[in-house]
Homo-oligomer: A and B are copies of this chain.
Amino acid sequence: MMNPWSEIIRIALMEDIGRGDVTTNGVVPLGEETEAKIIAKEAMVVCGLPVMVEVFRQVDSRVRMMPVVADGDGVMPGNTIAQLRGPARAILTGERVALNFLQNLSGVASITRQFVEKIAGTDAQIVDTRKTTPGLRGLQKYAVRIGGGSNHREGLDDGVLIKENHIMIAGGVTEAVKRMRQVASHLLRIEVECETLDQVQEAMKAGAHVLLLDNMELETLQKAVDMAKGRCLLEASGNISLENVRQVAETGVDLISVGKITHSSGSKDLSLLFK
């Protein structure tokens, strides 16, 4: 299958390798074969193994990577994640880029899993946002799915979300929704950002299909849900934390979007060891 990640992997390898790995080429003989393993140094939900495969394939197609766990598996410190066999030069040269992807994506999957577990038993879903790391949009959205979350739109072209600034320019929710309905593809629903209960009313009346309830106090949020539940899909957003996410879910919203699962997930600690 066409690998949608090959371009960012190529860029990451280029920025690290440049004209060549002078240390490895100076110290490691050309024909040297080796075995290595990738070890978790802290607990995590693993994510990014297919990316690592592609990283090493680009460096040298003779490197064989044998995953010991699968994306989505939880591991503990010291667990082996994958084994590698092949040219020692290629493994050393590709190591850092491979780990850089794995540590970022495992971070995203791990924190997503934490949010998902906090709301277990409710009807709400954790969804991501467009607050992703530049260049890693597709990969981080994949990591969100691996962590048990769902994806919001991929970009500006595959979903309609009328936000505060759009409403301001259009002169109001009603007008903004009206304009959008005239041109939107019949395959797209229209979502509207609402900051007040009045806007919730107005958006429903204008024909919005999904409401983004932004930064509302819990009490207000509950009123919005009571007002709109069943008529629109409801998405809560803004200042969602592991502490408050369950309360938000229990209001009855359908979706809870969390920016920090992609933009501030932190890295997980991993290491590549030669045998």
Interface residues of A (CB under 8 A from B): 1-2, 4, 7-9, 11-13, 15-28, 32, 34, 36, 58-60, 87-90, 92-93, 95-97, 99-101, 103-104, 107, 127, 130-138, 150-163, 165-166, 168-170, 176, 179-180, 182-189, 191, 210, 233, 235, 254-255, 259-260, 263-264, 266-267, 272-274
A-B contact sample (16 more), CB < 8 A, given A7-B11, A26-B180, A134-B135: A2-B13, A2-B58, A8-B135, A9-B134, A11-B134, A12-B134, A17-B156, A22-B188, A26-B182, A27-B169, A92-B165, A92-B166, A104-B263, A168-B274, A186-B254, A187-B189
**20 examples of A-B residue contacts, CB within 8 angstroms:** A1-B90, A4-B19, A7-B11, A15-B138, A15-B155, A16-B155, A22-B159, A22-B185, A22-B188, A23-B161, A23-B163, A26-B183, A32-B169, A99-B131, A134-B136, A150-B185, A150-B186, A158-B187, A187-B189, A189-B189
Contact of B160 with A187 in the complex, beta carbons under 8 Å: yes
Closest-by-CB residue of B relative to A5 is: B134
Residue with the greatest number of chain B CB neighbours at <10 A, chosen from A58, A187, A235, A267: A187
* Given A154-B157, A274-B168, A16 contacting B130 (CB threshold 8 A): yes
* Given A156-B21, A158-B18, A180-B23, A11 contacting B11 (CB threshold 8 A): yes
Contact of A18 with B155 in the complex, beta carbons under 8 Å: yes
Taking the closest CB of chain B, its distance from the CB of A66, in whole angstroms, is 19
Taking the closest CB of chain B, its distance from the CB of A98, in whole angstroms, is 10
Contact of A26 with B103 in the complex, beta carbons under 8 Å: no
With a cutoff of 8 Å between Cβ atoms, the chain B residues found around residue A188 in the complex are 22, 158-159, 187-189
